[in-house]
């Protein structure tokens, strides 16, 4: 397959163009145009349109002349950044960010069902970035395992770190947090540091933390009168979660909020769980029926919530 995710292509037989957003098989690809609809098409029926290149894709496969080091030699700052394609939002690109003063010999191999594939090899210059992989974000559960091997090189009188080997099988939780500003690229994205700085433990502060008075410890936040348990209110990455994972997240938030209501001695609290298939409502009612701190519970204001909320009266 000569095309890659994110390539800009034009249809041979029609006046259409768009970005490759899916590799279906060796013969077929998916192309998404300006209308955001993905069209399956034979790879032989499109041609590459040269000129479009996402920011940060400059790469070097041979040793490069090191720039003169001004200031302190940076030994830490190797990241994997996952950034959305600016033209095809369903596609994400993986960048190796080298924010150190070393040159990095980088190898990426993917592994899926005991099948290994070399995806990238090259030398990444100091203070630069290179795109090394692309994928459909919606296919997260189908992504392979990523195996990175990195060697550090410099002509300066600096001891290089030991070779870095990093293996990662990305999960939905890796994309649940807010995006951060990616070094070098200066774009928002999800960031993972491969060479985490060594953690220094302050023995005195550690000792003091064991002797904090109750007033010094973080207080339990007082919950509101109505708690919405719909998953889109709790997680930004809910579309990547299975139904079992969604239920676990909702019940964990329910337990946490119910405990907080008891701590603050609230007389009552309403949990909005929705009607749906009734699974979450059933689990909540089962927990409440056995809870020693619950006086009673009932459907909350049917004219407002229908059967989608439960009112809990606390003892």
- Tell me: the pLDDT tens digits for 140-167? 888 999 999 999 999 999 999 999 998 9
pLDDT digits (tens, 9 = 90+) for 223-260: 888 999 988 888 877 777 788 888 889 999 999 999 88
Query: Distance (Å, rounded) from C-alpha 235 to C-alpha 241?
Result: 10
Q: What are phi and psi of 45, to 5 degrees?
A: -100, 10
Q: What is the pTM of this model?
A: 0.52
- Record the tokens describing residue 285, joined without a space: 């009612």
**Band of pLDDT at residue 58, cut at 50, 70 and 90:** very low
Question: Which pLDDT score is estimated for 1?
Answer: 61
Query: Distance (Å, rounded) from C-alpha 165 to C-alpha 278?
Result: 46
- Look over the chain and give the mean of its residue pLDDT values, rounded to a whole number: 82
Question: Which pLDDT score is estimated for 233?
Answer: 86
**Band of pLDDT at residue 202, cut at 50, 70 and 90:** low
Query: Distance (Å, rounded) from C-alpha 107 to C-alpha 239?
Result: 31
Closest CA to 240 of 142, 161, 103: 142
Say if residues 23 and 7 touch (Cβ distance below 8 Å). no
Question: Which pLDDT score is estimated for 103?
Answer: 94
Residue with tokens 């191999």: 109
Query: Distance (Å, rounded) from C-alpha 28 to C-alpha 39?
Result: 10
Exposure of 132 by Cβ count < 10 A (0-12 exposed, 13-18 middle, 19+ buried)?
A: buried
Residue with tokens 């080298």: 98
Query: Distance (Å, rounded) from C-alpha 278 to C-alpha 276?
Result: 5
Say if residues 276 and 289 touch (Cβ distance below 8 Å). no
Question: Which pLDDT score is estimated for 81?
Answer: 92
- Record the tokens describing residue 115, joined without a space: 């099948």
Question: Which pLDDT score is estimated for 138?
Answer: 79
- Record the tokens describing residue 32, joined without a space: 């998404």
Question: Which pLDDT score is estimated for 144?
Answer: 92
> Do strands 188-193 and 268-272 pair parallel, antiparallel, or not at all (unpaired)?
unpaired
pLDDT digits (tens, 9 = 90+) for 22-31: 888 888 888 8
**Band of pLDDT at residue 262, cut at 50, 70 and 90:** confident
Closest CA to 91 of 51, 58, 121, 135: 135
Q: What's the mean pLDDT in 195-221? A: 57
pLDDT above 60 (res 53): no
Question: Which pLDDT score is estimated for 117?
Answer: 92
Q: What's the mean pLDDT in 202-223? A: 59
Question: Which pLDDT score is estimated for 217?
Answer: 43
Using a pLDDT cut of 70, give the percent of the chain over it.
85
């Amino acid at each position: 397959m000569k095309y890659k995710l994110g390539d800009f292509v034009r249809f041979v037989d029609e006046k259409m163009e768009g970005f490759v957003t899916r590799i279906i098989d060796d013969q077929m690809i998916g192309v998404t145009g300006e209308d955001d609809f993905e069209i399956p098409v034979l790879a032989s029926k499109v041609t590459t349109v040269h000129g479009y290149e996402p920011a940060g894709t400059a790469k070097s496969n041979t040793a490069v002349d090191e720039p003169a080091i001004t200031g302190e030699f940076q030994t830490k700052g190797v990241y994997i950044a996952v950034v959305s394609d600016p033209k095809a939002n369903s596609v994400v690109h993986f960048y190796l960010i080298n924010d150190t003063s070393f040159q990095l010999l980088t190898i990426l191999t993917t592994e899926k069902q005991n099948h290994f594939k070399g995806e990238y090899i090259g030398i990444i210059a100091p203070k630069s970035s290179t795109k090394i992989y692309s994928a459909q974000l919606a296919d997260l559960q189908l992504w392979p395992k990523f195996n990175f091997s990195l060697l550090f090189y410099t002509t300066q009188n600096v001891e290089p770190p030991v070779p870095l080997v990093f293996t990662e099988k990305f999960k939905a939780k890796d994309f649940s947090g807010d995006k951060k500003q990616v070094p070098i690229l200066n774009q928002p994205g999800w960031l993972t540091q491969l060479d985490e700085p060594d953690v220094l433990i302050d023995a005195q502060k550690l000792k003091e933390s064991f002797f904090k008075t109750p007033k010094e410890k973080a207080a339990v936040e007082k919950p509101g009168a109505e708690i919405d348990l719909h998953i889109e209110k709790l997680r930004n990455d809910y579309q990547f979660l299975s139904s079992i994972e969604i239920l676990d997240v909702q019940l964990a938030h329910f337990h946490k909020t119910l405990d907080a209501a008891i701590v603050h001695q609230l007389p009552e609290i309403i949990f909005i769980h929705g009607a749906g298939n009734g699974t979450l409502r059933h689990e909540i009612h089962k927990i409440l029926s056995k809870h020693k701190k619950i006086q009673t519970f009932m459907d909350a204001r049917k004219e407002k919530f229908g059967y989608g909320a439960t009112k809990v009266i606390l003892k």
